[in-house]
Amino acid sequence: MSIDSTVVSTPAGPLSILAGPDGDVRAAGFTTDPAALLPLVHPTLRAPLRRRDDLGAISTAVRSYLDGDLAAIDAVPVRQHTSGEFMAHAWQVLRDVPPGAPVTYTGYAALAGRPPAVRAAAAACARNAAALFVPCHRVLRTDGTLGGYRWGLDVKTWLLGHERRLTAS
């Protein structure tokens, strides 16, 4: 078994993607080096990397997202492993946050069904290995400012701006 990897050019920078044999995203991040993502993948889901030019439906979904179909990434399966139920649930909830409508960490905790668990919601964002597909860039500080982002605030700013431009009415 191996994990397929590719790098997709985006206006926000190169997006490296790791995909399992079933076409599920194991990790994604804005780096030129797919191997740099492997430590983000849970040890039970790791395998040697195999470089590919294209990951089929995953690459197509990213290109469609960049071309304006913001929902294209929603159908891409993601497989992350965690030891806690809340984290897995929180990642699924995050996939339901609509583009162009970012939420605060407080709002995210409430959406996940645990309003007092703001720190746990923040931890779910910090531990998310599948950037873009599990859109932690859509979570803001309680005061509405950007906060942190593993791939840099320039990337987060571009992603939020891209989604805002396409959803503004």
Task: Indicate which residue of 19, 70, 136, 160 is catalytic.
Answer: 136
Beta bridge partners of 140: 104
Nearest to 61 by CA among 53, 69, 49: 69
Task: Provide the token pair at 163.
Answer: 């989604």
Do the beta carbons of residue 31 and residue 131 sit within 8 Å? Answer: no
Query: Residue 133, SS3?
Result: coil
Distance CA 7, CA 9 (A): 7
Q: For residue 125, indicate whether it is catalytic.
A: no
Do the beta carbons of residue 15 and residue 30 sit within 8 Å? Answer: yes
Task: Provide the token pair at 166.
Answer: 């396409």
Distance CA 37, CA 32 (A): 10
Nearest to 121 by CA among 132, 110, 113, 109: 109
Residues carrying an active site annotation: 136
